[in-house]
Chains A and B, each alone.
Chain A
Amino acid sequence: MIENNDFAPENTIISSKNVDVFYGDKQALFDINLNVAENSVTALIGPSGCGKSTLLRCFNRMNDVIPICRVDGSITLGGQDIHAPNVDVVSLRQKVGMVFQKPNPFPKSIYDNIAYGPRIHGMTASKAELDEIVEESLKRAGLWNEVMDRLDKPGTGLSGGQQQRLCIARAIAVKPKVILMDEPCSALDPIATATVEELIDELRERFTIIIVTHSMQQAARVSMHTAFFHLGNLVEHGATSDIFTAPKDERTQNYITGRIG
């Protein structure tokens, strides 16, 4: 398990050191040391309950809202400790956006879904600027051509795949550095999944993406780095090609060949 600590990409943006996470008395993550490279896609894989989603939620402190959850150790974003007392969790979440497993657009219009983030952060001075952000975000999420003529229709009226891309557009509208994706395709059909994967590939140029996935094929397709978790431990982390072709740990080997998990 020491070898994964040595994997340090030269342009690290998020780094966790000795992170332990507890839910009440139960420890969910054990001593996680993970460095995430900037402008890359990092996949977190592993069997259910291995703690990969828990770690993902640590990066934007979404676990704060769970009263029994405790996070020890340090997590840095661009060198800053995100648990430092002077850190504003709202600004943190603006810099580290999140896309959830189930598409969860607000029951509002498509426009308002995108505009909500910029509005609450006071990012725009005028309606024209806001319109621009909405258009740009939807374009970047590859949704603009499909919804440009019905921006005032409810976001919940879109198909599942469109809803998920709407959620991605909503996340990038506040101009984050990092986007966390928690199994973004698990509720989507294969065609919608392919569209979202293409989108992830394009977004990589501007954002750092950390994606939790159950599908090893998906991890292999979209990610540059892969981290394998098992029972709360980070077993192995490295370039995706290495993990899938030459895993160093036996557990990784067993998982990717389908013997466990």
Chain B
Amino acid sequence: MTDHIDIISVDGSARHRAQKRFKSYGLLAIGLSLTFLFIMVGSIVLRGSSAFKQSFVQIKIELSADAIDADNIKRVRFGKLLKQSLRNKFPEATSRKDKKQLYKLVSPTAEYSVRKQVEANPTLIGTSAKLWVRTSSDVDMYLKGYVDANLDESKRRLSDLQLEWISLLQRENKIESRFNTKFFTGGDSREPEQAGVLGAVIGSALSLLVCFMLSFPLGVLAAVYLEEFAPKNRLSRIIEVNINNLAAVPSIVFGLLGLAIFLNFFGLPRSTPMVGGMVLALMTLPTIIIASRTSVRAVPSSIREAAMGIGANKVQTTFHHVVPLAMPGMLTGSIIGMAQALGETAPLLMIGMVAFIVDVPQGITDAATALPVQIFLWADSPERGFLEKTSAAIMVLLAFLIVMNLVAIILRRRFEQRW
């Protein structure tokens, strides 16, 4: 007869309790971080989503043939016509002060929109057309519910008279909220209702392109040389330590370096994605080198021996076998570096990418700004309308990042080989 062997787990033993406790700490940590993430993204979405909508107002405008020279539309003063139409609509505005308030209902850029619409459709000339133009940012904010009409008149940006006009227009269905395409197709503007992120997105994309073109080949080659070819001596150790230190240098220092070397010494054009990309490349390089070295080191030496055993030389071994196998890791490191570079603001301020630039850049030598800098600029603006634009631009930045990471994952899958 065998002795009774106790293998039944005694629930509540110290070992079990410790295990459970540890598990719950882990869950708590994950839960907390998810909550913070949710709060952060949630508040950005809440604040930013209204930026994708923009209020438009319909104006009946007299485009009489004698006022408009069809061959010379650029010369026509549509602003005057627009003001005339507004006065026709609300004849009660007679005093200078009331008229001024009336004109402020529509965006200051509305006259250009009218010109564009006439240019696009010349048959309108000679008729009295009903055209949709953007409302001013103040009206837009009111319509989106950001302005409290019960406040004392002196404490809000819209007067009682303006509110009256707005409610009249609303009753006549002459105010509409539409998808704000301008936000995705336009450059920066002083008017919130006119401002778009395309200039900043293109600026960021061009900067990152330059950054990648410079830092990826340089970083990978440096890593491969240091890992596979360089003699292991004092010099290579010094280089290694310094590369690791470079990764910890504050990014603004790289900005100052770019300002001193690229702009002042080499005289490259300032505020351009070219210089921005070069500065970001300096910043990204250590990250790429460190990640690439790690992934080169992770390639099993049996592969190197196999190649050398059949007579491949060092270069063939490295580039036919080691580098392809290390490529997924190198790409991962590069993408982490690029993601850092995408969110970097400080070095770009130093080289002048903080300038107010309305045009969408056409190439790497055009003046441009970048997404994080654009966010910084808008966040700094006093207009109420830029508040939602700031959050919306953050959403665009996050989307940019997600797209970049997706591309990275797809690329990595492509290169991935098993051994």
Identify which of A65, A106, A121, A174 contacts B306 (C-beta below 8 A).
A106
Residues of B within 8 Å of A98, CB to CB, are 305, 309-310
Q: How far is the CA of A243 from the CA of B162 in the complex (A)?
A: 112
Q: Mark A105-116, 1 if CB is under 8 A from B, else 0.
A: 111100000001
Q: Mark B380-419, 1 if CB is under 8 A from A, else 0.
A: 0000000000000000000000000000000000000111
Identify which of A89, A102, A174 contacts B310 (C-beta below 8 A).
A174
B260 close to chain A: CB less than 8 A: no
Which of A62, A106, A171 counts the most chain B CB atoms within 10 A? A106
Distance to closest chain B CB from A152 (angstroms): 14
Identify which of A100, A156, A171, A174 contacts B418 (C-beta below 8 A).
A156
Distance to closest chain A CB from B61 (angstroms): 70
Interface residues of A in 78-130 (CB under 8 A from B): 89-94, 97-100, 102, 104-108, 116-117, 120-121
Q: How far is the CA of A167 from the CA of B419 in the complex (A)?
A: 14
A67 close to chain B: CB less than 8 A: yes
Distance to closest chain B CB from A106 (angstroms): 6
Residue in B closest to A155 when the chains form the complex, CB atoms: B419
Residue in B closest to A172 when the chains form the complex, CB atoms: B310
Identify which of B302, B312, B320 contacts A100 (C-beta below 8 A).
B302
B247 close to chain A: CB less than 8 A: no
Check A120–B309 contact: CB distance below 8 A. Answer: no
Distance to closest chain B CB from A169 (angstroms): 11
Check B231–A167 contact: CB distance below 8 A. Answer: no
Q: How far is the CA of A116 from the CA of B316 in the complex (A)?
A: 11
Interface residues of A in 44-80 (CB under 8 A from B): 60, 62, 65, 67
Check B417–A116 contact: CB distance below 8 A. Answer: no
Which of B231, B306, B313, B320 counts the most chain A CB atoms within 10 A? B306
Interface residues of A in 6-48 (CB under 8 A from B): none
Q: How far is the CA of A107 from the CA of B417 in the complex (A)?
A: 6
Residues of A within 8 Å of B302, CB to CB, are 100, 102, 104
Check B303–A106 contact: CB distance below 8 A. Answer: yes
B232 close to chain A: CB less than 8 A: yes
B12 close to chain A: CB less than 8 A: no
Interface residues of B in 285-336 (CB under 8 A from A): 300, 302-313, 316, 320-321, 325
Residues of B within 8 Å of A171, CB to CB, are 309-310
Residues of A within 8 Å of B316, CB to CB, are 120
A154 close to chain B: CB less than 8 A: yes
Residue in A closest to B416 when the chains form the complex, CB atoms: A107
Q: How far is the CA of A8 from the CA of B310 in the complex (A)?
A: 28
Check A106–B231 contact: CB distance below 8 A. Answer: no
Q: How large is the interface on B (under 10, 10 to 19, 20 to 34, 35 or more residues)?
A: 20 to 34
Residue in B closest to A65 when the chains form the complex, CB atoms: B308
A170 close to chain B: CB less than 8 A: yes
Q: How far is the CA of A93 from the CA of B306 in the complex (A)?
A: 11
Which of B300, B304, B308 counts the most chain A CB atoms within 10 A? B308
Q: How far is the CA of A91 from the CA of B311 in the complex (A)?
A: 7
Check A116–B418 contact: CB distance below 8 A. Answer: no
Check A104–B303 contact: CB distance below 8 A. Answer: yes
Q: How large is the interface on A (under 10, 10 to 19, 20 to 34, 35 or more residues)?
A: 20 to 34
Interface residues of B in 210-261 (CB under 8 A from A): 231-232
- With A120-B316, A156-B418 already in contact, the answer to whether A104 and B305 are too (CB < 8 A) is yes
Residues of B within 8 Å of A93, CB to CB, are 308-311
Check A97–B310 contact: CB distance below 8 A. Answer: yes
Residues of B within 8 Å of A67, CB to CB, are 231-232
Residues of B within 8 Å of A94, CB to CB, are 310-311
Residues of B within 8 Å of A65, CB to CB, are 304, 308
Q: How far is the CA of A67 from the CA of B260 in the complex (A)?
A: 42
Q: How far is the CA of A93 from the CA of B304 in the complex (A)?
A: 14
Check A120–B311 contact: CB distance below 8 A. Answer: yes
Check B305–A170 contact: CB distance below 8 A. Answer: no
- With A67-B231, A107-B417, A156-B418 already in contact, the answer to whether A100 and B309 are too (CB < 8 A) is yes
Q: How far is the CA of A17 from the CA of B194 in the complex (A)?
A: 87
Q: Mark A168-179, 1 if CB is under 8 A from B, else 0.
A: 001101100000
Q: How far is the CA of A173 from the CA of B312 in the complex (A)?
A: 13
Q: How far is the CA of A74 from the CA of B292 in the complex (A)?
A: 40
Q: How far is the CA of A223 from the CA of B346 in the complex (A)?
A: 71
Q: Mark A189-205, 1 if CB is under 8 A from B, else 0.
A: 00000000000000000
- With A107-B418, A156-B419 already in contact, the answer to whether A170 and B308 are too (CB < 8 A) is no
Check B305–A100 contact: CB distance below 8 A. Answer: yes
- With A104-B302, A104-B303, A106-B303 already in contact, the answer to whether A117 and B418 are too (CB < 8 A) is no
Check A97–B320 contact: CB distance below 8 A. Answer: no
Q: How far is the CA of A98 from the CA of B306 in the complex (A)?
A: 8
- With A107-B417, A107-B418 already in contact, the answer to whether A62 and B310 are too (CB < 8 A) is no
Check B311–A167 contact: CB distance below 8 A. Answer: no
Distance to closest chain B CB from A141 (angstroms): 14
Q: How far is the CA of A62 from the CA of B306 in the complex (A)?
A: 11
Identify which of B231, B309, B418 contacts A62 (C-beta below 8 A).
B309
Q: How far is the CA of A62 from the CA of B307 in the complex (A)?
A: 11
Check A107–B325 contact: CB distance below 8 A. Answer: yes
Check A106–B321 contact: CB distance below 8 A. Answer: yes
Distance to closest chain B CB from A172 (angstroms): 10
Interface residues of B (CB under 8 A from A): 231-232, 300, 302-313, 316, 320-321, 325, 417-419
Q: List 7 A-B contacts (CB under 8 A).
A: A93-B311, A94-B310, A100-B302, A100-B305, A107-B303, A170-B306, A173-B310
Given A67-B231, A100-B305, 12 more pairs with CB closer than 8 A: A62-B305, A65-B308, A98-B309, A100-B302, A106-B303, A106-B306, A106-B419, A107-B303, A107-B419, A120-B310, A156-B419, A171-B310
Nearest 10 pairs of A and B residues by beta carbon:
A98-B309, A104-B302, A94-B311, A93-B311, A117-B310, A107-B419, A107-B417, A104-B306, A90-B311, A90-B313
